Amino acid sequence: MLRNAPPIDPARLDLAAEYRAKPFGRHSPDLQALLNVMRRAENCQDLILVSIAPNRWVLGHREPDGKPPTLFTDQVFDRLEDGEWEGFKRRWRALTGQELVLP
């Protein structure tokens, strides 16, 4: 992580809850700032959502050099929102060193 990148505060579970409730659409300034950190190239983990059938999604990893994405088939999501949430949790874990558990 870049030294001057804004940190993610693991205490801000309120922001995670806001994202969980509404991953698409208008976010609070604090949530948007957090997302902007997570989505930086060095933090985004090059995630991708791959539809394996209508309304069935898995996460995957975007590979360099034109290679096809690697699919994580151990978890299948019925809704895009659930796939986005899993991506959020993975980034939270990587940036804070802590598992994201919402009450």
Partner 1 sequence: MTVELKKPTVVGYVDRLYAYPGDEVTLRVSVCEPTKRYRAELVRLVCGETGPKGPGVKEERVASAVDGEHDGIEQRTSFGSHGIVDNLPALGAVAISVLAYPTLPGRGRQALVALGTLRLVLDETGAPALLVGDRALSAGVALRDQWWHRIEARYDPATGAAAIAATPFAGLHADRAQSAEGRLEAGAAPSGPLFFAAAPGPDGGATEHFYGKLEAPRLVSGTVDAQWDFSRGIDTARIEDVSPSRLHGRLVNAPKRAVTGSRWDGSVHHWKLDPSHYAAIHFHADDLADAEWKPSLRFKLPERMKSGFYAIKLTGSSLPFHVGLIVSPRPGARCAKLAVLASTVTYLAYANYRRRMSPGPFELAMGTLPTVDLTDVFLAEHFEFGHSTYDVYRDGYGVGHSTFRRPLFNFRPTGRFWNFAMDLCIIDWLDQQGIDYDVISDHELQDRGADLLSSYRAVMSASHPEYYSSEMLQAVEGFLSRGGRFMYMGGNGFYWRVTFPPAWPGMIELRRAEDGTRAWEEMPGQYNHATGELGGLWRRNGWPPNMLFGVGFYAQGFDNSSYYRRTAASCDPRAAFLFAGIDDEIIGDFGASGDGAAGLEIDIYDRRLGSPPHGLVVASSENHSNAFMLVNEEILSNRQGQDGAQNPAIRADMVFFETPSGGAVFSTGSIAFVASLAHDNYRNNVSRLIRNVVDRFIDPQPFAIPKP
Residues that bind partner 1 (CB under 8 A): 23-27, 32, 35-36, 39-41, 44, 46-55, 57-58, 62-69, 71, 73-74, 76, 79-80, 83-84, 87
- Give me the least distance between CB of 22 and partner 1, in Å please: 9
- Cβ contact 72:83 at 8 Å: no
Q: Whose Cβ is closer to partner 1: residue 51's or residue 103's?
A: 51
Torsion-angle region of 65 (φ positive above 0: left; ψ -120 to 50: alpha; else: beta): left
Helix (H, G, I), strand (E, B) or coil at 37: helix
Which amino acid, residue 34?
Answer: L
Q: Whose Cβ is closer to partner 1: residue 43's or residue 103's?
A: 43
